[in-house]
Chain A
Amino acid sequence: MRMNQNIAISETGFLFNPSTGESFTLNPVGLKLISYYKEGLNDDEIISRMQEEYQVEEREISRDLLDFKNVLKHYLLVDNND
């Protein structure tokens, strides 16, 4: 999944979409997920990293990741092709 090119994300988790003027605040987990996507990790790799870090079941992480991606899509923050 790729974030839209012009989206600005600060280290504090503040996300600004210059096309729409909308801004969002990511919690630490959301910020971490975005940073994994920016590293180029795919969903499976992200799930495995999160499992190591948070000791949570794969199913739960998969579901939360899907929710998170849907939110990003809803707010037009990711490329439509993803």
Chain B
Amino acid sequence: MTKPTLNIGVTGLNAIDSPGPGVPVIRALKEATSFNVRIIGLAYESLEPGIYMHNLVDKSYMIPYPTEGTDALLSRLEYIHSCEKLDVIIPNFDAELYSFMKLEKKLLAMDIHMFLPTFEQFEERHKVNLSDFGKKYGIDVPFGKAISDPHDLRDLEDEFDYPVMIKGKWYDAYVAHNIEQARSYFSKITAKWGYPVVVQKFVQGTEYNVIGLGDGKGNMLAAVPMRKQFITDKGKAWAGISIEDKKLIALTEKFISSTKWRGAFELELMKTSDNIYYLMEINPRIPAWVYLAVGVGQNIPEALVHLALGNDVAPLPAYDVGKLFIRYSYDLIVDRSEFENLSVNGEL
């Protein structure tokens, strides 16, 4: 039987020290056994390296930032669709998800499929609301509060002991050891990511992450837990190892069944010295280390595409324990004309 060829749009092609998940998602899709792919890269910046990886990305288009509004994004996607006939889009950034969720029905009417969390799921797991989320679902989360005024930091001293985590709405997190540092990080984060800022109790421990996939009906289709082996100064895993921990899998199942999570996600957890897992964050999209899941036997992006297309997906097979991913950087040599084409025409 011949495999269908799907045109799949993928965002998150950047690869800084906090890399986007786009390139590993594309690697996973290229290795899919149930379909062939033509990859359409969707980029925000002309220097996102995925654009120039012609072995992985067949064609790339610039798309407008979420701040330009969903009309601008829709208009651009309509143009791209007219050229490429997109079957599926996999958005990979937290900050763009809201726009794509808003456009989900319109894109579906154009026969472009996605499989995203619902608005309710997206909002209630947001780090701004994580404390309430933990209470609602009986999951241990560190106490946290969202603030929009730096003066509130002083008031919070009754509720928090230093050090505390100061976190941006979308990205970035810093450990503040005193009020001066907290104020400084507050300013740094709001300048970049806006308001509010989340102040969260600092939890000492070892970092674990889980990548998973929910079918939207409460069933867990995939889950791979990973221990971070090497962490950058941005807190990103530069190496990690797949592990087998029944507690983590049970926690992930609980998360999926109680929220009826729809789509891929990442749980960020901290394990304390008394072996308690605290859920630090829930990222509502595929994480950048997704290729470890593929490498240990669970091609989550492939399954996600089937869910988007409305196909039945069975739980993925058991994964291999004790396999590592080790990230590296790689310099692409690119002719100026390619950069020029993309910059001038918005596509390459």
B161 within 8 A of A: no
Q: 10 A-B Cβ contacts within 8 A? A: A6-B244, A8-B322, A16-B322, A18-B243, A18-B244, A19-B244, A20-B206, A20-B271, A21-B240, A23-B241
Q: Mask for B224-251, Cβ within 8 A of A = 1, else 0?
A: 0011010000000000111111100000
Interface flags, A9-26, vs B, CB<8A=1, else 0: 000000010111111000
Q: Which chain B positions have C-beta within 8 A of A19? A: 243-246
Nearest Cβ on chain B to A71's Cβ, whole angstroms: 15
- The chain B residue sitting closest to A16, CB to CB, is B322
Across the interface, name the chain A residue whose C-beta is closest to B229: A21
Q: How far is the CA of A18 from the CA of B242 in the complex (A)?
A: 8
Instruction: Evaluate contact between A20 and B245: CB separation under 8 angstroms.
Output: yes
* CB nearest to A19 among chain B residues: B245
Chain B binding surface SS class: strand
Chain B residue at minimal CB-CB distance from A76: B275
B318 interface residue (CB < 8 Å to A) = no
Q: Once the chains are docked, how many angstroms separate the CA of A20 from the CA of B275?
A: 10
Contact count A vs B, C-beta below 8 Å: 27
Q: Tell me the bound Cα distance from A21 to B245 in angstroms.
A: 9
List the A residue with the shortest CB-CB distance to B206.
Answer: A20
Interface size, B (range): 10 to 19
Residues on A close to B: CB < 8 A?
6, 8, 16, 18-23, 76
Min CB–CB distance A38 → chain B (angstroms): 19
Which partner residue on chain A sits nearest B226 by CB separation? A21
CA distance A76 to B247 in the complex (A): 15
Chain B residues whose CB sits within 8 angstroms of the CB of A22 once the complex forms = 227
| In the complex, residue of chain B having the shortest beta-carbon distance to the beta carbon of A22 | B227
Chain A positions within 8 Å of B208 at CB level: 21
Binding site for A on B (CB under 8 A): 206, 208, 226-227, 229, 240-246, 271, 275, 321-322
Contacts of B240 in A (CB 8 A): 21
Majority-rule SS of A interface residues: loop
Residues of B within 8 A of A76 (CB): 275
Q: How many angstroms between the C-alpha atoms of A16 and B321 in the bound complex?
A: 10
Neighbouring A residues of B322 by C-beta, 8 Å:
8, 16, 18
Instruction: Write out the residue numbers on chain B whose beta carbons fall within 8 Å of the beta carbon of A21.
Output: 208, 226-227, 229, 240-243
* Distance of A9 from chain B, by nearest CB (Å): 12
Task: Name the residue on A nearest B242 (C-beta).
Answer: A21
CA distance A8 to B241 in the complex (A): 14
Q: Which residue of A lies closest to B225 (CB)?
A: A21
User: In the bound complex, what is the Cα–Cα distance between A51 and B246 (angstroms)?
Assistant: 41
Q: Which residues of B contact A23 (CB under 8 A)?
A: 241
Q: How far is the CA of A20 from the CA of B244 in the complex (A)?
A: 8
Q: What CA separation (Å) do A22 and B245 show in the bound complex? A: 12
Complex contacts, B243 vs chain A, CB 8 Å: 18-21
A19 to B206, CA, bound (A): 13
Q: Known contacts A8-B322, A16-B322, A21-B243; can you find 20 more A-B pairs with CB under 8 A? A: A6-B244, A18-B243, A18-B321, A18-B322, A19-B243, A19-B244, A19-B245, A19-B246, A20-B227, A20-B243, A20-B245, A20-B271, A21-B208, A21-B226, A21-B227, A21-B229, A21-B241, A21-B242, A23-B241, A76-B275
Most B CB atoms within 10 A — which of A16, A18, A23? A18
Distance in angstroms from B239 CB to nearest chain A CB is: 11
Question: In whole Å, how far is B106's beta carbon from the nearest beta carbon of chain A?
Answer: 43
A6, B245: Cα distance in complex, Å:
11
Measured between beta carbons, the chain A residues less than 8 angstroms from B227 are 20-22
- The chain B residue sitting closest to A6, CB to CB, is B244
A21 closest partner in B (C-beta): B227
Chain A residues within an 8 Å CB radius of B245: 19-20
A23 CA / B240 CA spacing, docked (Å): 12
In the bound assembly, the distance between CA atoms of A6 and B275 in angstroms comes to 18
B244 CB to closest chain A CB (Å) equals 5
